C-alpha cells in the first residue's frame, strides 16, 4: 500500500526556494500522479502532470520543468523512448529525468541510464522520501550549473589574458589548449606528444618536470617562432601540477623584447651613425683583452678624429655635418668588414674581430684584435685613411676629409681600457701635431699629460698675450722661373711641455673663443713688418700669404684694419695675399664678396686655400674677385702614381687657367710631384721638398730681384 502524502513531513528546503522550482510528473496512472504532486507541493514545489508523450513534450517547451519524474510504462510510446526523445530537445538536455520503475526491475534500470535518465526510483514510492530525493537531485544540478558557470568565467578570464595555456598529462601528451591571444602558438595540436608541440628547450624542460626533476622555480624559456620580419618571441613557463600533469604557460614576449632591445640600443649605440658608443666599445675592448690569451698577439685601439670637421659643420650646416659623420661611419665599418672577410680562415696574423664606435663629435674608435705585429695596425690605419680620402658627396657638396689617428697597443702601452683610450687620444693629438692626415703610436715621448680643452684655451690666451706665439714662413716656388717668389705665414705655438702644438689643434680653439681675431690681426702685423724689412733689404718682390679665418672676415672693420696695417709699415698692398677657405665663401656670400671686392680694389690678392676639399661651384668662382687657387695637399700627396689625384690636379689647373686664376700646389714633398706639376703648367708650388715652414732667419734661397 502506498502511504498517504498527507502524512509526510515537509522537505527541509525553505518553501520559497522550492515554489520556484517546477517538477513535471509524467505518468498515466492518476493515483501516482496525484500523490506525487501532493507530496511535492507540500514540500513547496510547483508541479504539473502529463499523462502521455505528447503532453510531456509540450510541457517541456512551455512549462520548462527543473526536473521530470517519468514512468517507464506509458501509453503511446514507452517511457524509455520518451526519455531518449526528451534528451534530444535543447530545452531538456540538462534537466534531471528520474525514471519510475517497478521493484527489482534491474533491466529497466540499466536501460533507463542508457537512454539518458539521471536517476530512478522504485514503485511503490515511499512518499515522504520523494521531496528529499528531488531536493538532492536539484542540488546536484545546481552544483553542476555553478561549476559550469565558474568554468565559463575562468575560461573567459583566461581568454582575456595574453597567455596561452597548455595542459599536458603525466605521459607528456597535450590534452588542452586555452588561448586568448590571436598570436598564440601551437593551435590544433591537442593529442600530440609535447615534443611535437613545443620547441626543443621547452619540451626538454617539460619532460624533466614530468620526471619530477624541475627546479623549484618554474623554468622560463625564451624561444623564437619564424625568421625575419614576422619573427616573434615567446616565453614559456613550466608548472608541475599536484596530479602529475603540467601547465605550460606561453606568453608572447615580442613587444617586451623589442622594448628591451630599443632601450639597450639607446644605451649602447649612437643613434646618428648606428655605431656602438664609447661605453659598448670599452666593454668589447675589455672582453677582447681578456680573451687575448696568446701572448704574441696584440690588441690595438685606434682613436680617430676628423681633421677640419668643425669647419664643415660650421660653414655647411649640421645637416651636412651629420651626413658626413654617417658616411664616415659607413666607410669605417665597411672597410673593416671586407678586411675581415678577406682574412684567410685560421690565419692567426689577420685581425679576427674589429669594432668601430663613435665616441661623440667627430671622434671614432676602432678596435683591432689578434694582431701579429704593429705593422698590421699601421696597415689598417693607412687603409682607413685611403677610404676616407675618397671625396664625399653630401647634400650637393663635395669634399675630402682626412683623419688623424692615434694608436695605443695592448699589452705594450697598458692593460686598462680607459687608460689605453687616453693614450690613444694623446697619440691622436700627436698625429695632428705632425700635420694631420697621419697616424701616431703612443710612445715614450708622449708620457706627458695631454691638455684638456679648457686648459688649452687658457694656455693659448696666456701664450698669445705674453707674446709666446711665433710666425714661421714657408717658401713658395715659381715653377716657370724656379725662384722663390714669396712665403706663406704660418702660426706656431711652442709649448714648454708638449713641444710644438699644431695649428690644427689650436686654431679651432681660437676660432671658438674669438681669440682668432686679435691673433689674426697680429699675424698680419707680423707679415707687414716682415715685408717692410725685406723691402729695405732689397727683397721688395717677395710676397707674404696670410691665412684668414671666417671670423676675421665677418668683422666690418677687417678691411680697414688690414689696409691701415699695410700703410703703417709702408708696404704695398700687392705684396700681401690673403688665403681664405672655400667654406668661408659659403658662409656669408654677400658680405664676404663685398669685403673681397674692397681688398681686390686695394690691390691685395685673394687665394682659395685647400681647394678641392670644400664646395665651390664654378658659378661662384666666376663671380668672385679671386686671384689664385691652392690645390689641397691631399691631392698632391699621391702624385703622380694615383690616377685619380693626377686627374683632379690636372682638372684644377685647367679650371684655374680657364678662370684666369693662378694655381698653387701645396704639400709638394718630392721631385716626382714637382715634375708632374711643372709638366701640367702649375704656376707655383709649396711644400717640404721646397722648404719647410721655418723662422724667417732660416729661410733659404731668397734672392734679390735681378
CB of 547 to ligand C2E, least distance (A): 4
Binding mask 568-587 for Mg ion (x = CB under 5 A): -----------x--------
| Near ligand C2E in 660-679, by CB under 6 A | 666-669
Q: Which residue of 42, 549, 616, 684 would you call a contact of ligand C2E, by CB under 6 A?
A: 549
CB of 253 to Mg ion, least distance (A): 58
CB of 505 to ligand C2E, least distance (A): 9
Size of the chain, expressed as the number of residues it contains: 706
Q: Which residue of 609, 634, 677, 683 would you call a contact of ligand C2E, by CB under 6 A?
A: 609
**Closer CB to ligand C2E, 237 or 308, in the complex:** 308
CB of 665 to ligand C2E, least distance (A): 10
Distances (CA, A) of 281 to 37, 342, 357: 90, 23, 6
CB of 612 to ligand C2E, least distance (A): 12
Residue 186 burial (C-beta neighbours within 10 Å; 0-12, 13-18, 19+)? buried
Q: Which stretch binds Mg ion (CB under 5 A): 312-320, 376-384, 458-466, 659-667?
A: 659-667
| Near Mg ion in 506-565, by CB under 5 A | 547
CB of 681 to ligand C2E, least distance (A): 20
Question: DSSP characters for 123-158?
Answer: ESP-GGGHHHHHHHHHHHHHHHHHHHHHHHHHHHHH
39 binds, among ligand C2E, Mg ion, none (CB under 5 to 8 A by kind): none
- Interaction between residue 474 and ligand C2E (CB under 6 A): yes
| Near ligand C2E in 560-579, by CB under 6 A | 579
**Closer CB to Mg ion, 277 or 547, in the complex:** 547
645 binds, among ligand C2E, Mg ion, none (CB under 5 to 8 A by kind): none
CB of 603 to ligand C2E, least distance (A): 21
Binding-site size for Mg ion (CB under 5 A) equals 5
Question: C-alpha grid cell for residue 368?
Answer: 683591432
**Closer CB to Mg ion, 95 or 546, in the complex:** 546
Binding mask 260-279 for Mg ion (x = CB under 5 A): --------------------
Residue 270, C-beta contacts closer than 8 angstroms, at least 6 positions apart: 276, 277, 357, 358, 360
Q: Rounded to an integer, what distance in angstroms lies between the CA atom of residue 503 and that of residue 490? A: 8
Q: Rounded to an integer, what distance in angstroms lies between the CA atom of residue 242 and that of residue 120? A: 36
Residue 545: its H or E element:
strand 543-547
Q: Can you name the residues that pair with 99 across neighbouring β-strands?
A: 70, 120
| Near Mg ion in 109-168, by CB under 5 A | none
Task: Give just the sign of the alpha carbon dihedral 434, 438, 443, 449.
Answer: positive
581: nearest Cα among 619, 552, 560: 552
Q: Which residue of 33, 42, 505, 547 would you call a contact of ligand C2E, by CB under 6 A?
A: 547
Q: In what order do the strands lie in the sheet with 354-360?
A: 354-360, 363-371, 298-306, 403-410, 439-441
Specify whether the CB–CB gap between 490 and 474 falls below 8 A: yes
178: nearest Cα among 247, 130, 226: 247
Binding mask 434-453 for ligand C2E (x = CB under 6 A): -x------------------
Q: Which residue of 172, 503, 612, 614 would you call a contact of ligand C2E, by CB under 6 A?
A: 503
Q: Which residue of 523, 596, 605, 653 would you call a contact of ligand C2E, by CB under 6 A?
A: 523
Residue 184: its H or E element:
none
Binding-site size for ligand C2E (CB under 6 A) equals 25
**Closer CB to ligand C2E, 8 or 634, in the complex:** 634
CB of 525 to ligand C2E, least distance (A): 11
Distances (CA, A) of 246 to 151, 158, 220: 19, 17, 14
215 Cα distance to chain centroid: 36
Which letter does DSSP use for residue 684 in this model?
Answer: E
CB of 668 to ligand C2E, least distance (A): 6
- Interaction between residue 687 and ligand C2E (CB under 6 A): yes
Which letter does DSSP use for residue 499 in this model?
Answer: E
- Interaction between residue 688 and ligand C2E (CB under 6 A): yes
CB of 359 to Mg ion, least distance (A): 27
CB of 687 to ligand C2E, least distance (A): 3
**Closer CB to ligand C2E, 163 or 504, in the complex:** 504
3-class DSSP string for 572-594: CHHHEEEEEEHHHHHHCHHHHHH
Q: Three-state SS for 457?
A: helix
CB of 307 to ligand C2E, least distance (A): 9
- Interaction between residue 609 and Mg ion (CB under 5 A): yes
Q: Three-state SS for 164?
A: strand
Distances (CA, A) of 429 to 36, 175, 277, 314, 452: 110, 70, 21, 22, 11
- Interaction between residue 504 and ligand C2E (CB under 6 A): yes
Specify whether the CB–CB gap between 623 and 593 falls below 8 A: yes
Q: Which stretch binds ligand C2E (CB under 6 A): 5-13, 53-61, 87-95, 544-552?
A: 544-552
Specify whether the CB–CB gap between 427 and 369 falls below 8 A: no
Please measure the distance between the N-terminal and C-terminal CA atoms of the chain and give it in whole angstroms: 161
Q: Where are the beta strands (DSSP E) in 275-316?
A: 298-306
- Interaction between residue 610 and ligand C2E (CB under 6 A): yes
Q: Give contact residues for ligand C2E (rule: CB under 6 A).
A: 435, 474, 490-491, 502-504, 507, 520, 523, 547-549, 579, 609-610, 633, 666-669, 686-688, 693
Q: Which residues bind Mg ion (CB under 5 A)?
A: 547, 579, 609-610, 666
Amino acid at each position: 500500500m502506498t502511504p498517504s502524502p498527507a502524512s509526510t513531513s515537509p522537505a527541509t528546503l525553505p518553501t520559497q526556494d522550492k515554489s520556484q522550482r517546477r517538477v513535471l510528473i509524467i505518468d498515466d496512472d492518476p493515483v501516482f500522479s496525484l500523490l506525487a504532486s501532493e507530496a511535492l507541493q507540500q514540500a513547496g514545489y510547483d508541479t504539473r502532470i502529463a499523462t502521455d508523450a505528447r503532453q510531456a513534450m509540450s510541457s517541456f517547451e512551455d512549462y520548462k520543468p527543473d526536473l521530470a519524474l517519468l514512468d517507464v510504462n506509458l501509453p503511446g510510446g514507452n517511457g524509455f523512448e520518451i526519455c531518449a526523445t526528451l534528451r534530444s530537445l535543447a530545452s531538456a538536455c540538462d534537466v534531471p529525468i528520474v525514471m519510475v520503475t517497478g521493484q527489482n526491475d534491474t533491466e529497466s534500470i540499466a536501460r533507463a541510464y542508457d537512454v539518458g535518465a539521471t536517476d530512478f526510483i522504485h514503485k511503490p514510492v515511499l512518499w515522504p522520501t520523494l521531496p528529499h530525493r528531488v531536493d538532492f537531485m536539484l542540488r546536484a544540478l545546481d552544483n553542476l550549473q555553478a561549476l559550469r558557470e565558474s568554468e565559463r568565467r575562468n575560461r573567459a578570464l583566461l581568454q582575456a589574458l595574453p597567455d596561452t595555456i597548455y595542459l599536458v598529462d603525466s605521459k607528456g601528451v597535450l590534452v588542452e589548449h586555452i588561448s586568448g591571444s590571436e598570436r598564440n602558438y601551437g593551435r590544433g595540436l591537442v593529442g600530440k606528444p609535447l615534443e611535437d608541440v613545443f620547441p626543443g628547450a621547452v619540451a626538454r624542460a617539460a619532460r624533466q618536470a614530468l620526471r619530477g626533476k624541475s627546479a623549484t622555480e618554474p623554468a622560463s624559456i625564451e624561444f623564437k617562432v619564424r625568421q625575419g620580419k614576422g619573427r616573434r618571441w615567446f616565453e614559456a613557463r613550466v608548472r608541475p601540477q599536484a596530479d602529475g600533469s603540467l601547465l605550460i604557460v606561453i606568453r608572447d614576449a615580442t613587444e617586451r623584447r623589442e622594448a628591451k632591445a630599443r632601450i639597450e640600443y639607446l644605451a649602447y649605440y649612437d643613434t646618428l651613425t648606428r655605431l656602438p658608443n664609447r661605453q659598448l666599445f670599452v666593454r668589447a675592448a675589455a672582453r677582447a683583452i681578456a680573451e687575448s690569451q696568446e701572448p704574441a698577439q696584440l690588441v690595438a685601439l685606434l682613436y680617430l678624429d676628423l681633421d677640419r670637421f668643425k669647419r664643415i659643420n660650421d660653414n655647411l650646416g649640421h645637416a651636412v655635418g651629420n651626413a658626413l659623420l654617417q658616411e664616415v661611419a659607413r666607410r669605417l665599418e665597411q672597410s673593416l668588414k671586407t678586411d675581415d672577410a678577406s682574412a684567410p680562415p685560421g690565419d692567426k696574423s689577420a685581425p679576427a674581430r674589429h669594432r668601430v664606435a663613435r665616441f661623440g663629435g667627430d671622434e671614432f674608435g676602432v678596435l683591432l684584435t689578434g694582431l701579429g705585429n704593429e705593422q698590421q695596425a699601421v696597415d689598417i690605419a693607412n687603409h682607413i685613411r685611403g677610404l676616407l680620402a675618397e671625396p664625399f658627396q653630401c647634400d650637393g657638396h663635395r669634399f675630402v676629409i682626412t683623419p688623424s689617428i692615434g694608436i695605443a697597443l695592448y699589452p705594450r702601452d697598458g692593460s686598462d681600457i680607459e687608460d689605453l683610450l687616453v693614450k690613444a687620444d694623446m697619440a691622436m693629438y700627436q698625429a695632428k701635431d705632425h700635420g694631420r692626415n697621419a697616424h701616431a703610436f703612443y710612445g715614450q715621448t708622449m708620457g706627458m699629460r695631454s691638455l684638456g680643452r679648457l686648459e688649452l684655451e687658457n694656455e693659448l690666451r696666456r701664450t698669445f698675450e705674453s707674446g709666446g706665439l711665433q710666425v714661421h714662413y714657408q717658401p713658395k716656388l715659381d715653377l716657370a722661373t724656379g725662384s722663390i717668389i714669396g712665403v706663406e705665414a704660418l702660426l706656431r705655438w711652442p709649448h714648454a711641455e708638449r713641444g710644438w702644438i699644431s695649428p690644427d689643434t689650436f686654431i679651432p680653439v681660437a676660432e671658438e673663443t674669438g681669440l682668432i681675431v686679435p691673433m689674426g690681426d697680429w699675424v698680419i702685423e707680423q707679415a707687414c713688418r716682415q715685408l717692410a724689412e725685406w723691402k729695405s733689404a732689397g727683397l721688395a718682390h717677395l710676397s707674404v700669404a696670410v691665412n684668414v679665418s671666417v671670423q676675421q672676415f665677418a668683422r666690418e672693420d677687417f678691411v680697414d684694419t688690414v689696409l691701415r696695417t699695410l700703410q703703417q709699415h709702408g708696404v704695398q698692398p700687392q705684396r700681401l695675399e690673403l688665403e681664405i677657405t672655400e667654406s668661408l665663401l659659403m658662409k656669408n656670400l654677400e658680405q664676404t664678396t663685398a669685403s673681397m671686392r674692397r681688398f681686390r680694389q686695394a690691390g691685395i690678392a685673394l687665394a682659395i686655400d685647400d681647394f678641392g676639399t670644400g664646395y665651390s661651384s664654378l658659378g661662384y668662382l666666376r663671380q668672385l674677385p679671386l686671384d689664385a687657387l691652392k690645390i689641397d695637399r691631399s691631392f698632391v700627396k699621391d702624385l703622380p702614381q694615383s690616377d685619380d689625384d693626377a686627374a683632379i690636379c690636372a682638372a684644377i689647373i685647367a679650371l684655374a687657367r680657364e678662370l684666369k686664376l693662378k694655381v698653387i700646389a701645396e704639400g709638394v714633398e718630392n721631385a716626382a710631384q714637382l715634375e708632374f706639376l711643372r709638366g701640367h703648367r702649375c704656376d707655383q708650388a709649396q711644400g717640404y721638398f721646397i722648404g719647410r715652414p721655418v723662422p724667417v732667419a732660416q729661410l733659404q734661397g731668397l734672392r734679390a730681384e735681378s
